[in-house]
A = this chain, B = another copy of it.
Amino acid sequence: MTESEFLAGYDPAAYERPALAVDLVLLGIRAGRLAALLLRRSRQPQAGLWALPGGFVGIAETLDAAAERVLREKAGIGRARLEQLYTFGAVDRDPRMRIVSVAYLGLLPEAAFAEALAGGAGLAAATLVVPWAGEAGGPVSAGTEDGAPLPLAFDHADILALAVKRLRGKLDYTDVGFALLPEHFTLRQLQDVHAAIRGAPLNKSAFRRRMRDRGWIAPTGAREAGTAFRPAELFRFDRSGQF
Binding site for B on A (CB under 8 A): 1-3, 6-7, 10, 12, 15-20, 43-47, 56-64, 84, 86-87, 89-91, 95-98, 100, 102, 135, 243
Contacts and interface: CB of A to CB of B under 8 A. Distances in A.
B87 A62 contact: no
A174 B89 CA distance: 24
Given A86-B84, A87-B84, A18 B57 contact: yes
A200 B61 CA distance: 39
8 contacts: A3-B44, A15-B59, A18-B59, A60-B98, A62-B89, A62-B91, A84-B86, A87-B102
Contact of A10 (B87, B96, B100): B96
A18 B63 CA distance: 11
Contacts of A3: 44-47, 95
A89 B60 contact: no
A234 B43 CA distance: 61
B63 A87 contact: yes
How many copies of this chain does the complex contain?
Answer: 2
Nearest to A12: B97
**Chain A at the B interface: SS class:** loop
A135 B174 CA distance: 10
A175 to B, nearest CB: 11
A80 to B, nearest CB: 17
A54 B62 CA distance: 20
A87 B90 contact: no
Given A7-B96, A15-B56, 8 more contacts: A7-B45, A10-B96, A12-B96, A12-B97, A18-B59, A20-B20, A57-B100, A84-B87
A60 B91 contact: yes
A20 B89 CA distance: 11
Given A57-B18, A100-B20, A62 B86 contact: no
A89 B59 CA distance: 11
Nearest to A134: B243
B18 A91 contact: no
A144 B20 CA distance: 37
A71 B51 CA distance: 34
A44 B95 contact: no
